């Protein structure tokens, strides 16, 4: 599909015009959190300057306007995900909280001792620890979809882990650690065949790939605004209406009740039932602008751009001796994440030296310790690309890695 006009796009992001350690900033850590365009920053600030009031509560104009802006964002995310109704979209703090709502609210009500919860060996801790906690509370069994040697789900072995006792299958859309994009429909079909629920960690998916929750037919889909050009502290839990209506509230307090007496309460309907307390109103309002930006660029074009950068990065990194690359070479099945190590150099040292060159990457286990342990790794260096990155950022990374190798007297490029 070709590259976007990334140089023009880059001008929309003020932090990308700055320097780091005296060098022009090369930001290659969007998988952790994307940069924010000026219009998102302005919207966030303007809310506090011009619209600051609590929502759903005040009998005055500012409150009405803030409520309208908040609710308009819910409508936008519903269209973005193609949800049947906006009430299926619950605002949370992040993907982690969204998954915890499912594990606690749905899980505590539906999981019994001996039931099986299926995840994979590649999950982020946010889609691992909540299920571990649920299994411990309920006496359930946690099972893992095994991986192929190139870090894809082994679909030939799904029958080994998904069976009559499976109550929910909870997997990621795209791996933050190695970039694998998973065949969700194949996993969904296996889950449906045994009557299990299907939950997707979309933290890395929704920012890069077109998501249609109706076509996907997932029961739950979780995402974070801060990976999608939006502010931190805003997430979304999509859930099918009938499931959310049957689930008990996750938190108690203001705004999630219909009525309260001395002896009890009646929960509000959707979506308020799962949105206790004052939310990050400014963040939600600014998220609407981020969604508009992504729609304007187009998710299909974004993915095509990232595929071009990914292929170029692999070509250039493979020219260097002593670089170990992780993940599948089937680029159609991976996003713009390059996880690698330099032979004989700890990933943290790689990150530190690149930082001195103005290059921001991630180094460590990427909240994916089971996967790292499986491969006997202390961690990897990770470069992740987005709409504002171009081939010259890859070139800067390569030059930085040459310096890493020189400093550690590793093998020099051929």
Beta bridge pairs of residue 199: 170, 220
Q: Which residues, other chains included, contact 213 with Cβ-Cβ below 8 Å and sequence gap of 6+?
A: 81, 82, 83, 221, 238
Q: What is the DSSP string of 48-99?
A: IIII---TTT-SSHHHHHHHHHHHHHHHHHHHHHT-S-GGGEEEESSHHHHH
Retrieve residue 135's tokens.
């299994």
Which residue's entry shows tokens 């020099």? 412
Residue 208 confidence (pLDDT): 97
Residue 271 tokens read as 């979506």
> Residue 108: its pLDDT value, please?
98
Cα 323 from Cα 340, distance rounded (Å): 7
- Under 8 Å CB-to-CB from 335, ≥6 apart: which residues? 174, 179, 181, 204, 208, 209, 303, 306, 310
User: How many CA atoms does the CB half-sphere of 21 hold within 13 Å?
Assistant: 11
Residues of the chain with CATH 3.90.1150.10: 6-30+298-407
- What pLDDT is attached to residue 413? 46
- In 10 A of CB 47, how many CB atoms? 21
Predicted confidence pLDDT, tens digits, the chain (414 residues): 699 999 999 999 999 999 999 999 999 999 999 999 999 999 999 999 999 999 998 899 999 999 999 999 999 999 999 999 999 999 999 999 999 999 999 999 999 999 999 999 999 999 999 999 999 999 999 999 999 999 999 999 999 999 999 999 999 999 999 999 999 999 999 999 999 999 999 999 999 999 999 999 999 999 999 999 999 999 999 999 999 999 999 999 999 999 999 999 999 999 999 999 999 999 999 999 999 999 999 999 999 999 999 999 999 999 999 999 999 999 999 999 999 999 999 999 999 999 999 999 999 999 999 999 999 999 999 999 999 999 999 999 999 999 999 999 854 444
Residue whose entry in the numeric block shows the structure tokens 């600051």: 52
Structure tokens given for 334: 């991976």
Q: Is 49 exposed, middle or buried (0-12, 13-18, 19+ CB in 10 A)?
A: exposed
- What backbone phi and psi angles, to 5 degrees, belong to 197? -75, 160
- Tokens coding 62: 């500012």
CATH number of 41-295: 3.40.640.10
> Nearest to residue 223, comparing CAs of 213, 211, 237, 242?
237
Task: Supply the pLDDT for residue 159.
Answer: 97
Q: What is the largest CA-CA distance in the chain?
A: 77
Instruction: Give ranges for CATH 3.40.640.10 in the chain.
Output: 41-295
Nearest to 229 by CA among 283, 282, 280: 283
Answer whether 287's CB lies under 8 Å from 230's CB.
yes
Tell me what pLDDT residue 58 has. 86
Residue 107 in contact with residue 129, Cβ under 8 Å? no
Cβ-contact 341, 188 below 8 angstroms: no
CA–CA distance, 141 with 143 (Å, rounded to integer): 6
Catalytic positions: 367
Kindly report each contact of residues 55-58 with a partner whose C-beta sits within 8 Å and lies 24 or more positions away, as own/partner: 55/278, 55/279, 55/281, 56/255, 56/272, 57/255
Q: Whole-prediction pTM value?
A: 0.97
Query: Structurally, what CATH architecture does the domain formed by 6-30+298-407 represent?
Result: Alpha-Beta Complex (3.90)
- Written as six digits, the tokens of 283 are 């963040």
Exposed / middle / buried, residue 82 (Cβ in 10 Å: 0-12, 13-18, 19+): middle
The DSSP line for 103-156 is IIIIHHHH--TT-EEEEETT--GGGTHHHHHHHHHHT-EEEEE-B-TTS-B-GG
């Amino acid at each position: 599909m070709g590259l976007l006009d990334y140089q023009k796009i880059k001008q929309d992001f003020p932090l990308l015009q700055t320097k780091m350690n005296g060098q022009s900033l090369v930001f290659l850590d969007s998988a952790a959190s994307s940069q924010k365009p000026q219009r998102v920053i302005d919207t966030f600030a303007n809310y506090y300057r011009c619209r600051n009031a609590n929502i759903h509560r005040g009998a005055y104009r500012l409150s009405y306007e803030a409520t309208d802006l908040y609710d308009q964002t819910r409508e936008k995310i519903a269209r973005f995900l193609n949800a049947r109704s906006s009430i299926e979209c619950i605002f949370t703090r992040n993907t982690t909280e969204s998954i915890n709502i499912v594990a606690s609210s749905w899980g505590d009500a539906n999981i019994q001792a001996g039931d099986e919860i299926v995840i994979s060996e590649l999950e982020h801790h946010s889609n691992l620890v909540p299920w571990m906690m649920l299994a411990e509370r309920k006496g359930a069994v946690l099972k893992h979809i095994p991986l192929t040697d190139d870090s894809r789900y082994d679909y030939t072995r799904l029958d080994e882990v998904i069976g009559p006792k499976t109550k929910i299958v909870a997997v990621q859309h795209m791996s933050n650690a190695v970039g694998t994009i998973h065949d969700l429909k194949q996993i969904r079909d296996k889950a449906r065949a045994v009557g299990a629920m299907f939950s997707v960690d979309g933290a890395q998916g929704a920012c890069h790939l077109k998501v249609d929750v109706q076509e996907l037919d997932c029961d739950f889909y979780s995402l974070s605004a801060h990976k999608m050009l939006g502010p931190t502290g805003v997430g979304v839990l999509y859930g099918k209406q009938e499931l959310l209506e049957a689930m008990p509230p996750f938190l108690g307090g203001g705004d999630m009740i219909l009525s309260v007496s001395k002896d009890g309460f009646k929960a509000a309907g959707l979506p308020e039932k799962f949105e206790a307390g004052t939310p990050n109103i400014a963040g939600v309002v600014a998220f609407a602008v981020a969604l508009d930006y992504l729609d304007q660029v187009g998710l299909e074009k974004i993915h095509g751009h990232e595929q071009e950068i990914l292929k170029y990065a692999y070509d250039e990194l493979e020219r260097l001796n002593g670089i170990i690359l992780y993940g599948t070479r089937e680029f159609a099945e991976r996003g713009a994440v390059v996880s690698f190590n330099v032979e004989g150099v700890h990933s943290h040292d790689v990150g530190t030296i690149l930082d001195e060159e103005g290059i921001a990457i991630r180094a460590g286990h990427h909240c994916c310790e089971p996967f790292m342990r499986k491969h006997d790794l202390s961690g990897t260096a990770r470069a992740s690309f987005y709409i504002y990155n171009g081939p010259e950022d890859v070139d800067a990374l390569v030059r930085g890695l040459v310096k890493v190798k020189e400093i550690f007297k590793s093998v020099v490029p051929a």
